[in-house]
Amino acid sequence: MNIKLVLSTLLFPCFLFGQGEQLEAIENDLKFINLFSADMKEGVSCYRIPSIITAKNGDIITAIDERVPSCGDLKWSNDINIVMRRSSDNGNSWSDIETIVDYPLGESASDPSMILDETTGEIFMFFNYMNLKTEKNVFYLKMISSMDHGKTWSTPTDMTSQITKPEWKTDFKFITSGRGIQTRSGTLIHTLVNLENGLFLFKSDDHGKNWSLIETAIKPADESKVIELEDGSLMINSRVNNLGVRYIHTSKDNGNTWTSRPDNQLVDPSCNASLIRYSSIKNGGTKNRLLFSNLNSKDSRENLTLKISYDEGKTWSKGKVIYPGSAAYSTMTLLKNGDIGLFFEKDDYSQNVFVKLSLAWITDGKDGVK
């Protein structure tokens, strides 16, 4: 055994080495598993923009940008790939990094997001694409899918014409990273941003065969998450730049009209966040529970916090701090054992870590029943 490793473990017990060279950090009774960082692959500048989902068979799928020449976003990098890792044991161990979208140099794919169709088991992964050689500054919106729990993926499909308007061709537009939803009726719904025109929903009513745009613009909003409420209404939780809090939009008519308000309970420094449903009475749960993770700070990308709501987002708990230091985008999924999987950018984008959280831990033991 490496003597230096033994000594460092004894002297600094908060750090442990997991499988391979994967670094695990124990802080505040939480174990952070670093899944993606530049030191894991030669030539990569950084990994950014996390996405996570639980497949129908219970496997956890994480996807992220592999940004090669620089950490720049899509418009400023000619080599961004989408890569993934998988866990089949509730996040205890992980597969090697696998590339699933890789275009020739000069073309880039960015901002992965996923939806699981609970009926068919198909996973849809969306991403934004740009050819910096021939159409710099023109954004295309694309999709791949998997019918075998993320083991293999289809070739990319360009869905730009289905979910945008022709006059948007040169607009700054993108599908929100992270994840979308499936409603109780089976409709798949996701969000896209047009910086000039607002936030929009797009949907599929036939299990992903065809997609369409809901043409009502939602403002103010940037990167957003949509959820179905217990009464069938839609609620969107939005990043709004330079406001210091999140904005909430609700619709009772499937997205045709919206009511909007700022939510002063949800402090935010203008960053992508995560919103998922933990349980629903209509789906057999004992309570309605929504979970929200973001940076609980008005002006700094730090203090990642998770909050819970028992009244469909009207009020939120004070929150449990997941990581007080530097953090950024976060995304969540419900694991097959009932825990919550949280995947987030940590320490000035240098690491992208996974952490498991129990409902009992989040609520300090006050709510440990499904």
Structural domain that includes position 223: 3-362
For residue 369, being part of any structural domain is answered with no
Q: Are 82 and 112 in contact (CB under 8 A)?
A: yes
The candidate with the shortest Cα–Cα distance to 77, out of 129, 142, 37, is 129
178-213 pLDDT, tens digit per residue, is 999 999 999 999 999 999 999 999 999 999 999 999
Q: Are 32 and 17 in contact (CB under 8 A)?
A: no
Q: For the whole model, what pTM was predicted?
A: 0.93
For residue 368, being part of any structural domain is answered with no
For residue 370, being part of any structural domain is answered with no
For residue 126, being part of any structural domain is answered with yes
For residue 206, being part of any structural domain is answered with yes
288-318 pLDDT, tens digit per residue, is 999 999 999 999 999 999 999 999 999 999 9
In the block, which residue shows the tokens 């000594």? 7
Structure confidence at residue 12 (pLDDT): 31
pLDDT along the chain (370 residues), means of 10: 34 34 66 98 98 98 98 97 98 98 98 98 98 97 98 98 98 98 98 97 98 98 98 98 97 98 98 98 95 98 98 98 98 97 98 97 86
Structure confidence at residue 1 (pLDDT): 37
For residue 289, being part of any structural domain is answered with yes
Sign of the torsion angle spanned by Cα atoms 324, 48, 146, 127:
positive
Q: What is the CATH number for 251?
A: 2.120.10.10
Structure confidence at residue 26 (pLDDT): 72
Domain count, the chain: 1
For residue 224, being part of any structural domain is answered with yes
Structure confidence at residue 27 (pLDDT): 66
Structure confidence at residue 344 (pLDDT): 98
